[in-house]
Chain A
């Protein structure tokens, strides 16, 4: 009996040490080619794009590097929300990252969601202090329980850490400076119309709206040029009343922030409707909201032209 108690006790103690070490030091592992740690190790980047998979699938890193002045980096996490983007930006700036132009993903569905870490890679890239703040944000807004806490601090990313040497190589090969190198083919109109729409939401979440505000505050404080970008969705999305309503709501919030802007840099909002992008070309989309390789290249070229013109 003593042997069993000792072995289980030692295992639990070891687990505790591993959990603490993981939450504080996992970010120090050899960096991958995407995520916050990779950009922090660069020290500075002229153009930083922070967003969700809209940015990962919608921005072509080759085109950005070729057509924009200075270096570019795409920081994208799955479902990255405004409240989390604000925290990520604050973390990067506090860690000493130098930025000149900041581009933020204006995707209304993430702004309508309850605050949540939608991609556990965020936890792998940050320290315990960041995680504690993120947890408080989630808990205060959604009443997350013990099971979420356990997943957040104990089990998240363990698979990636256990297989890190191999897995990091495999995944990192798919990115450069945060930009996806995977070329996804486009779809046909029939295929895109065969997909279900994303449904309605209860409007923009208050905490997410505050997240937009926090991003603006940080841009003012660090004297950045700020851009809000809406990547192209397929025409069927723009015809969807739920999407239009939510999009309008999110846009109004950002426009209000633009009016109150006191920063020394510029504040620009650039939506798909401002570009001459063909939202009816099914070949440019892999689904209703994500661009294909062809769409990504076309959009990024148009975007770069417009960014230059706006300057």
Chain B
């Protein structure tokens, strides 16, 4: 259920039917119940992890606030965070560690048993990377006295509703606790402007996800799955299409998740701000997965000393933050390398001047986009070796002959409808480009208008007539 957007929206409609009928003060309990049902529908076994770590961090928060000395507070902070990180490590990284230990042991000729020695599920609980970060930020904020700990039965319910919040459990955004729980304490209320904003965001998200991301998914999967079977041009196209697929998939889900929060009467922050219009890598990270970037900045980079340290230490801080970001996305060296590429690129890049010619602005945007796309290849490939052979084939097998162009379009459908699918995909990418260009360079709209009437109508018609409903999973749910 959790990976099917249409069922999720139907579930939301069911929740809404009850939600606004109960008194304002009790809506948080409807939200919590709905979130538990939603989570359980993906697998009952996962519930114990999230509820267990949720209750523990709730308790640690209370104890931390009650502690009289800084030392005692620190003990509870560590106890809470270590438990969360312990779960996260055990579920997501133990296999990766074991794989590398085996490799190391074979290099050092010190044999280890080949079987994984722990009897745990290989599949990590749904959303563990997201809810773990929520819990950590909650504890860190209490420690830094940015917020008070939740207390009592109601506080516990509010905290669990924040952790389990069903629209955002799958792939974020990683909402900050003080912003979210504050609204739950007040009691969510129906606000026409917010509801309307939510609907617009849902339509925009559906357009990105169903019309663009799902349309490109088949092509990208086919070419990345067997790059040597296709021309080099197809690999180049697949790399660029993956850039768009990932963006539309993830930002589409984020738009839907934020929109769902809005229709539930909750204000939520946007997670993407037209990142492919960035003129440099620093700007890109200010626009891409904003909630994760902000989290890493506030809870990793700044505690490490940020830029208020020596130059060398600052560089190490940046690099460490990006390597951790890579590792957060997945337990594989290709993700670590991807994080490393972005870290190094960040270190060597300079802040872009505002007053530059249009030509230079376009050039900077294109260079940034191509660089980001190149790094995505490591992100998408199943392993480091596959990424390298994919890039090698893209270069050595590249040609622009008529036959190669034909064979590069063919993977869309595998028959004579491929040209139509290719042209349609390009058409919708242009549509999104024009929409986002208006967002970045056009005149600023009212806060409650994301889509003007024209855009709203065009995107709704596109979703109805061109939505691809088959491939409905979300890429970022895997991270």
Contact = CB atoms under 8 A, between A and B. Distances in A.
B457 A167 contact: no
Nearest to A172: B416
Given A6-B453, A8-B203, A159-B424, A171 B419 contact: yes
A14 B457 contact: yes
A12 B196 CA distance: 17
A15 interface: yes
A197 interface: no
Given A7-B453, A11-B457, A162-B423, 11 more contacts: A1-B196, A4-B199, A7-B456, A15-B460, A147-B469, A159-B417, A159-B466, A160-B417, A162-B420, A163-B423, A163-B424
Contacts of A154: 464-465
Nearest to A161: B420
Contacts of B200: 4
A121 B416 CA distance: 10
A122 B308 CA distance: 68
Contacts of B466: 155, 158-159, 162
Nearest to A182: B416
B115 interface: no
Contact of B460 (A11, A150, A171, A174): A11
Nearest to A174: B416
Nearest to A180: B416
A15 B461 contact: yes
B465 A155 contact: yes
26 contacts: A4-B199, A7-B457, A8-B456, A11-B456, A11-B457, A12-B460, A14-B457, A14-B461, A15-B460, A15-B461, A15-B464, A78-B415, A120-B417, A121-B417, A154-B464, A155-B468, A159-B420, A159-B421, A159-B423, A159-B424, A159-B466, A160-B420, A163-B420, A163-B423, A163-B424, A166-B423
A158 B465 contact: yes
Contacts of B468: 155
Interface of A: 1, 3-4, 6-8, 10-12, 14-15, 18-19, 78, 120-121, 147, 150-151, 154-155, 158-160, 162-163, 166-167, 170-171, 174
Nearest to A119: B415
A247 to B, nearest CB: 25
A8 B199 contact: yes
Contacts of A3: 196, 453
B203 to A, nearest CB: 7
B467 interface: yes
Contacts of A7: 453, 456-457, 460
B427 interface: yes
A174 B410 CA distance: 15
Contacts of B417: 120-121, 159-160
Contacts, number: 81
Most buried by A among B419, B464, B468: B464
Contacts of B154: none
B461 to A, nearest CB: 5
B19 interface: no
Interface in B155-192: 192
Contacts of B469: 147, 150-151, 155
B465 A1 contact: no
Interface in B416-467: 416-417, 419-421, 423-424, 427, 453, 456-458, 460-461, 464-467
Nearest to A15: B464
Nearest to A10: B457
Contacts of B456: 4, 7-8, 11
Nearest to B215: A159
B221 interface: no
Given A150-B469, A154-B465, A4 B460 contact: no
A155 B427 CA distance: 16
A163 B422 CA distance: 10
B298 interface: no
Contacts of B390: none
B195 interface: yes
B82 to A, nearest CB: 46
Contacts of B460: 7-8, 11-12, 15
B193 interface: yes
Interface in B193-225: 193, 195-196, 199-200, 203
A171 B409 CA distance: 13
A170 B419 contact: yes
A11 B464 contact: yes
Nearest to B195: A1
B464 A12 contact: yes
Nearest to A8: B460
Contacts of A120: 417
A154 B427 CA distance: 19
Contacts of B203: 8
Most buried by A among B416, B421, B453, B469: B416
A170 B416 CA distance: 9
A214 B415 CA distance: 30
A11 B424 contact: no
B420 A155 contact: no
Contacts of B461: 11, 14-15, 18
Nearest to B193: A1
Contacts of B458: 11
A223 to B, nearest CB: 35
Nearest to B460: A11
Contacts of A170: 419
Given A4-B456, A7-B457, A19 B465 contact: yes
Most buried by A among B192, B193, B424: B424
